[in-house]
Structure 1
Amino acid sequence: MTLVNLAQVLQPALAQGYAVGGLVTLGWEDMRAYVAAAEAENCPVILQAGPSCRAHTPLPVLGKMFRHLAEASSVPVVAHLDHGYTFEDCKIALDSGFTSVMFDGSRKPLRQNIDETAAIAEMAHAAGISCEGEIGFVGYSGGENSNGTDPEEAVQFARDSGVDAMAISVGNVHLQQDKEGGLDLARIAQIQALTTVPLVIHGGSGVPVAQRSALAAQTSVCKFNIGTELRMAFGVALRAAVASDPDRFDRVQMLGDTIDPVQQAAQHVLRAFGAPPQR
C-alpha cells in the first residue's frame, strides 16, 4: 500500500529540489490515468477532489476510489481534498479516508483565515493527515480577480496556522487554458526568503512548462495543481471516441478510450517536475 499524506511527498521534494503534481480528478477514468502516469514516470502523485468533483460524486465514495488505486500502486499516492470551504468539508474528507485536506479560507480576513485553517490543521494532524492552506487569493480566468499574496502576511499564516503546505497567489489563475502568463518570480522569492513551508501553485495549467520545471528545481514551490490542461486532453479524447462510430452508444467503451490519451498528457505534466525515481 502506497497511500501517503501530503507532508510525506512534499518534504522530500523540498529537500531535493523537485515538485509533485496535484492532479485534479473528475471521475474514475482520469484517476486511473493519473496513477498509471505516475507509475510510468516512477514518481509520486496527488489525486485531488475539488468542488466540481465532489458535486458529482460524494466524498465517501471518492475516498474509497482514491484508496483503492493507492493500495494497488507502486508509487506514493496522496488522497487530497482540494478547496474545502468549511470545517465540515474537511472533517467528512478525513472520515472518508483522505490523507490530506486543503482548507480554502482565502476570501476571508487574514485573522479569520489563520484561525480557521489552524483549527483544521490541528484536526488533520491529530488524525495523522496533512493540511494545506491558502494565503492571498488565486482568481479565476474570466471570473474573480486575484489578490496577490503579501509576503509579511504569508509569514504570519505559515507560523500561526501550522499548515504543511501553503498555496500562494503570485500571478497564477485557475481555469486558464493557455500558457501565455508566467508567475511573479520576485514575489515568490520574497515569500520563500521569509518562510520554510512548501509552497503550492494553484492554476498550474496556465504556467509555462519551462517555468514549472525551473521553479520546482530552484525554489520552495513543491506542488503544482494541474486540472484544466488535463481536462482539455480528456475532452479531445472523448470527442474523438464519440465521433469514431455514429452507432456507438456504450459509455464504458467511449470513456475507456480517454484513458491512454489522458495518461500520456499526465506523464508529460509529471515529467517536468523533475522527481527522481522512487525506490
Structure 2
Amino acid sequence: MALVTTTEMFKKAYEGGYAIGAFNVNNMEIVQGITAAAGELKSPIVLQVSAGARKYAQHEYLVKLVEAALELNDIPIALHLDHGADFEICKSCIDGGFTSVMIDGSHHDFEDNIALTKKVVDYAHSKGVVVEGELGQLAGVEDDVNVAAEDAQYTDPAQVEEFVSRTGVDSLAIAIGTSHGAFKFKPGQNPQLRFDILDEISKRLPQFPIVLHGASSVSQEYVQEIQKYGGNLADAIGIPEDMLRQAAKSAVCKINIDSDLRLAFTAGIRKVLSEQPEAFDPRSYLAEGRNNIHTLVKHKIVNVLGSDNKA
C-alpha cells in the first residue's frame, strides 16, 4: 500500500466518531513499535515528523523507514510534517514525499497567519498534498516549539470560518486546553479541556476535521518506571484519557501523541540498563523501548482513539 493523505481518513473518522492517532517518529524502533501495533489492530495512522526529528534522523532515512513499514503492514498511513515553521520546510517535505504538512503560523497575527498558510496550501494542493493550519497557541515545549504559559491563547471560534475559507486548509489545529510536553500542568491543577470552545467551532465548521496537539496523557506507569530508575518526573501531568476520548467522539479527527511515546521508550531503556548495567548491546535496550511503544500505541488506539478495525 502506498502512502495516503489524511482526507479519507478524517472523513471516516468524523462520521464514525473516532480519531486518528498522529504519532511522532524519530528512529527505526519507534516506527516499528507504532506500525506493528496499528497493523495488528487494523487502525489507520498518521506518522508525523517534527523539524527536530528531521535534523536528528535525516529526512531520507525517515521516509524510507515509513516506506518499509508500509510493506509490512496493510494499513493506511499518512506521512505528516508536524509544526512546519515556514514555507521552505513545508515545501521541502512536500517535494520529499510527505503526503501532509502542518504550517504553524499561530505565532503570527491573524492576517500574517492567513497569508503564510495560504501560500503553503496553494503549493501543497498543486502537488496533491493536504495541509493542517493552526489558530490559537498551546503552552509548553516540544522540539522547536516553546510557548510560555502566559503567551498561550485559546482559539477564537469567531475567527475559524474566515481562516478556513481564506486559506483553504484541509484541517485545523485548535487550542482548547491541551499543552505540549510532559510537564503540562502544575501539581494540584485539574486539567480541563474547553469543550464549549470545541462545540462552538464544530457549529461554525460542520463536518470539518479538527486536530488536537499536545494531547499526550503522560502515562503514569512509564513516569513511575522512569522515576524508579533515577528519573525526575514527579510533576509530569497530562490530559485525562476520558477527555481525549470525548473529543475523539466529536469533531476531533486527529490527536497528536508524542510525549507518551518518549516516556514509554525511555522507560524501557532505563529498565534494561539499570537491571543489566553490564549491557552494551543496543538491540537489548532498544528492543525493550520498542516493546513499550507497541503496548502504549495499542492502548491508545483501543481506549482513546477508537480507531481499531477502521483501516
TM-score bracket, shorter-length normalisation? over 0.9
Counterpart of 2:32 in structure 1 is: 32
CA distance in 1 between partners of 2:205 and 2:173 (Å): 12
The question of whether the paired residues in 2 share the 8 Å contact of 1:59 and 1:92 is answered with no
Residue deviations 1:71-108 (CA, integer Å, cap 9, x gap): 33211111111011111101111122111101111100
Residue deviations 1:236-269 (CA, integer Å, cap 9, x gap): 1010121232221122332122111110011111
Q: Which residue of the other structure, out of 108, 125, 148, is the alignment partner of 1:144? A: 148
Counterpart of 1:274 in structure 2 is: 306
The question of whether the paired residues in 2 share the 8 Å contact of 1:6 and 1:129 is answered with no
CA distance in 1 between partners of 2:99 and 2:147 (Å): 31
Q: Which residue of the other structure, out of 280, 286, 292, is the alignment partner of 1:249? A: 280
Give 1:178 deviation, angstroms: 6.4
Counterpart of 1:188 in structure 2 is: 198
Residue deviations 1:182-232 (CA, integer Å, cap 9, x gap): 210111111111013200000001321111112211x11111101111211
State the SS of the aligned residue for 1:49: strand
Residue deviations 1:41-82 (CA, integer Å, cap 9, x gap): 211111111132122122232222222212332111111110
State the SS of the aligned residue for 1:258: helix
Gaps of 5+ in 2: 217-237
Aligned residues: 278
CA distance in 2 between partners of 1:278 and 1:74 (Å): 12
Identity %: 31
Residue deviations 1:3-40 (CA, integer Å, cap 9, x gap): 21121211111122110001111211111111011112
Counterpart of 2:83 in structure 1 is: 83
Counterpart of 1:233 in structure 2 is: 264
Moved more, 77-86 or 255-264: 255-264
Structure 1 counterpart of 2:176, one-letter code: V
Q: Which residue of the other structure, out of 164, 173, 190, is the alignment partner of 2:170? A: 164
Give 1:276 deviation, angstroms: 5.2
The question of whether the paired residues in 1 share the 8 Å contact of 2:301 and 2:308 is answered with no
State the SS of the aligned residue for 2:80: strand
Q: Which residue of the other structure, out of 208, 218, 225, is the alignment partner of 2:240? A: 208
CA distance in 2 between partners of 1:98 and 1:85 (Å): 16
The question of whether the paired residues in 1 share the 8 Å contact of 2:41 and 2:308 is answered with no
Aligned pairs for 1:20-99 (under 5 A) are 20-99=20-99
State the SS of the aligned residue for 2:116: helix
Structure 2 counterpart of 1:223, one-letter code: K
Give 1:122 deviation, angstroms: 1.7
CA distance in 2 between partners of 1:63 and 1:116 (Å): 26
Question: Is residue 119 from structure 1 mapped to residue 119 from structure 2 by the alignment?
Answer: yes
CA distance in 1 between partners of 2:184 and 2:134 (Å): 23
Aligned pairs for 1:102-117 (under 5 A) are 102-117=102-117
State the Cα RMSD in Å.
1.7
Q: Which residue of the other structure, out of 167, 174, 198, is the alignment partner of 2:180? A: 174
State the SS of the aligned residue for 1:101: strand
State the SS of the aligned residue for 1:223: strand
Counterpart of 2:12 in structure 1 is: 12
CA distance in 2 between partners of 1:66 and 1:152 (Å): 38
Moved more, 68-77 or 259-268: 68-77
**Runs of 4+ more than 2 Å apart:** 176-180
Moved more, 162-171 or 205-214: 205-214
Counterpart of 2:210 in structure 1 is: 199
The question of whether the paired residues in 1 share the 8 Å contact of 2:33 and 2:291 is answered with yes
State the SS of the aligned residue for 2:256: strand
State the SS of the aligned residue for 2:82: strand
The question of whether the paired residues in 1 share the 8 Å contact of 2:140 and 2:184 is answered with no
